[in-house]
Structures are given as C-alpha cells and as structure tokens.
Structure 1
Amino acid sequence: MVEARHLRYALALADHRHFGRAAASLGIAQPPLSQQIAALERELGARLFDRTARGVFPTAAGEAFLARARRALAEMSAAVSDTGRAARGETGRLRLGFIGSALLELLPSLLGRFIRERPDVRLGLHEMSTCQSATALLDGELDISIGRGAPRGAGAEDLVSVTVGRDHLVAVVGAAHPLAGQPAVGVEQLRGQHLIVAPDDEEPVVAGWLDALLGDGAGAAAAPGGGVTDARDVHTIIGLASCGVGVGLGPACMRVAARPGTWVCEVRPRVELPDLVMSFHAQDRSPVLAAFLDTARELCPGVNERLERLGRR
C-alpha cells in the first residue's frame, strides 16, 4: 500500500537526486530509504528512478508519479490546515440577526474585531426587529440574535441569553424646539407633544411606558395636541425630530447618531429599557459561534462572568 511517507521519500529523492542527501534531508539512514523506494517501485510495478553514476533521475513513470505525489501531499497539508482553522473558528459561517440600535455602540467594535481576526468566516448579517430575530433563531435560521430582552415562546428554554448592553430612554428634538437646550425633560413636559417612537417590536417598553405615563388609557395620542409617529429605527427618529415633527424617544445610545441641529436630553423619571441581549442555542457547539462569544467576552463588560454562570466556558 502506498502511504504518505512513500510520497515524501520519492519527492526528496527527486529533489536531491542522491540517496545519501535525500536520506539526510528526511532524517533517516540511507539503507531504509533505498529499501522503501524499491518497495514502492514493486508496489507500483514500475521503475521510478534511474540509478546512474551521475546521480538518481526520475524515469517517465517517475515523473508522472511525482507530479501526482506533489499534488496529493499539498492536498493533505491543506486538509490538515483547513481542519485546524475550522476547529479554531477561523472558517465557517455565522448568521446574526440584530436590531438597528445595536449598530450604534455594540456591533461596531464587536463585529469589527471579529472580522479583523477571522476574515474568512462567512457572515450572514440581518437587521431585524427583536421579535423577528427571536423567531428566526428559534426556527434555526440564525445562529445568534441580538435584541431587546430574551426570546420567549416555544423553544426559548433551549436558548442561552446573556446581557451585552443596557440602556435607558432619552428624548431628541430639533434645535428650534422649545425643549432644545434642556438637560432633561419631565413627563409633564412630554404631555401633548407629538412623539416619534420605534415600533413596539423594536423598543417594546416604550409603548407601555407611553400608555402608563403619558396617556389616559387610550395611549399618548389621546393627549391634547399630541400624536404618535412610528419610526423604523433610531435614525428615522432623529431625522424626523430634526425636521421639527416632534419629540423623538429612543435609547440613549442614539446620541452617537445625533446630527447637527438636534438636541438630546434625559427623560425624568429615568426609564430603563430592556437589556440588549445576545441569544443562541445552548447545544450549538460551533467553533465559529465559540469564537464570536470569545470576542464578546473580551469587549462586553460582564459577559464572560455571565456566560460562565450559564455553563459556557
């Protein structure tokens, strides 16, 4: 049977054209090399090398064999390398669903580091609402979801969910708005204002907060002179506020995206938003997922401790 060592022996002999020098390069004695080459020729039923006074030279059969041998050893080496890279999470695929506001503070550093360190991982990135990404994760269409709060529903007990960020509610207005310049705005000041908010499935706590504190049981739209405009994401909230449409309400991280001509102020009393949560299947032992989690451990305060408490070392 032809083995990988036979290929290496034949290639070394072809390169050095001398049994002694080839044996030295392989770290073996000359007699075993001569014996192995002779055994290989008997196995193949063809003479691979001409032994002459000037040296050892491949025959036509030997040249054909050596060409294949080089490719075979190269493929074996690549297989070993690819196996190691895959086991270290340097190749493969990662499907990530995330809410838009995660792009303001969390994902630029997290994804940036991951991509720099593992450029050959195929990333499937999908901006989704919290509800959509949770459903996609439970259905096996995502490997990780990042949204407000942990996924709920059938199958959620099979997920691991860990907090990767916390945030609270702030207000944003255009520079010409009466609230511009104030460090904070109270609930009473928001009554009657036209409010710009993300849909319930994007920032689910906001709708409930509006009903409880600003409305009269019918929601904020019932307040005199008020009304609510649903915005797709924080960029739309900021954009509409800058146009003078009303007061935008969103996570404090949207300060990062605030544009000239807008003013961001705190909301009093302080309203905590649901934690920004990263979720994945507990039984998923993919090296790529493990590598992504390692990056999160390094960049997100407290994530390492939370994962260890959940049994993910």
Structure 2
Amino acid sequence: MAAPQSKYDDYDFPTTAPEAQPGHPGHTTPEQDAKVQQLRSELEQLGYTERLDTLTLLRFLRARKFDVAAAKTMFVECEKWRKDFGTDELARTFEYNEKAQVFQYYPQYYHKTDKDGRPVYIEKLGKIDLNAMYKITTGERMLQNLVTEYEKLADPRLPACSRKAGKLLETCCTIMDLKGVGITSVPSVYGYVKQASVISQNYYPERLGKLYLINAPWGFSSVFSVVKGFLDPVTVNKIHVLGSNYKKELLAQVPAENLPTEFGGSCSCAGGCELSDMGPWQEAEWAKDPKWAAPKEVTKTEEAAVEKEIEAQADQPTA
C-alpha cells in the first residue's frame, strides 16, 4: 500500500519501488504510512517546511527501523548539518575546477547505469595520494565536491534514471577498486574516508543499492568476514567482495557497454569515462532541470516576517 500523498509529494518520476521490500515506496503497511504522517507532523511542529515528502521521510524511517523518534532525531541533525555546511547553496554554486587534476590521484565519478537502471558510482581507492592532492585542492573542497555530487544524485540523476527505467530508483550501484591499496596507505586516507562515510551514512541514508569491492587484496575477505558481524544483515547482502577475477560477476550487474574498458567493459568515452558524467541525466528525453536550480520560493510565512521587519524599521524614529 502506498503512503497517502501530501502537499510535499511533487514528483515527476515513478514513485513505486520495483521490488516489494517492506517499508519501500508502494509497499508500505498502514502502520508504516501512519509513521510517515506522524514524523511529518512532528517535524512541521518544529518549523520544518522542506524535504518532508514521503520518499525522503521513508528513507529516514527505514534507516532507523521505523522508530519515529530516532528518525526525527536523524532528520533534525541532518537539517542542522545542511544549514551549517551550506548544502543548498553548494549545489547551485560549487565548481570543482581542479577535478581533472584531483582525479589523477583519486578518481570518483558517476558513469551510466547498471542492469537495474541505477547510476553506477566508481571510486579508485588505490590511487589516493592525499599529499599530492592537497597541493591541488583542500580536504574541505573535496568534501564540498562529495556533497555536491550527492545532491546531484538526488536530483537530477536518480529522477532521470527512474523516468528511463519506468520505476522508482533511489540507490546506486557502487564499484570500489581496491587495486593498489596496502596497509601503509590506510592511515593517510583514513581521516578523509571517515568524514566522507559519516556524511554518507548520517545525511544521505538509504542510497546504497549494491557495493562491489573489486581487486580486494589478499586477506581482505577474512577481515571483512569479521566486520560483517557488526553490520546490518540488509547492508551485508548489498556488499560483494571480489578479488582480481571480478569481471564475470561485475558484468552480470553492469552491461559491458556501460562499464569502462579498464574494468572489463567496452565503454570508452571521448575524453575519458572518468570525466564524462554520462548517463540518463544527460539525455534530453529523461533529464530535467533539478529543482534546487530554480530560484527558491519565498513562503507566505517568510513574506509576512519580512513585511513585519520592514514595518518595524519604518516605525523607528529617524535621526
């Protein structure tokens, strides 16, 4: 059963999840629908007026096992972070002019789609050289770029993919290439990776569809089998640890024509796949301008507050 629509549910793409998983759009119970409404009502009482649509609230509720109080805390902390980080403005104004140089040491990019229609996100962790990168950019700008890309994932990437696939897509297929990663390289990148992970888990919940760790070094699988014990079973089922013989399994999920040649696919974009940003979000038939690009509408409450301030200033005695 789908949750009742609200005034916030202004979608121009399919909104039913393709698989009948509990708590996912189009497959919710009356109890889950009631929790969406309860969470929205409590957030409205706190003064929130943005990101209260059903899809967003369901993601926060799933991330907290439909515990309304925990989801509310998560949402409030996320909104505080967005304000402090300047997220809304970043999406509109941030320009990562040094991207091509940075990618020599840390390629991280979206590229086409997997067989389910989801955006494919690729990172090559083995090439990270933070010392070299910090001569080109800063850790702060790297995180700003990461956040900007997350915002672009939410809109326009996922909506475009949903339109093309004819079904709701809310997650990514992530490929992390561990080739070249050694124990000695871990400490230097740990700080950045930890910050990036916190942003991902706390502020962009429920965005991971599948994760392929390829070229996993010897012994990695043993370490991961221990780590699995601390992870949610739902998360564990999304993660695939593969060694150097990863191509067959990866190609079972990502069409060869969408996978860069270096990973066993047949795609070779002009200028390089890493910088092409190819996908449905670049195709006129499916792409639409992201909503965050439009001038922000001023609400009646905000208008009234501005008018009240102007009146107050007008009543002030002149010098």
State the TM-score, normalizing by the size of structure 1. Answer: 0.21
More contact order relative to length (CA 8 Å, sep ≥ 6): 1
Indicate the structure with greater strand content.
1
Which entry has the higher C-alpha Rg, 1 or 2? 1
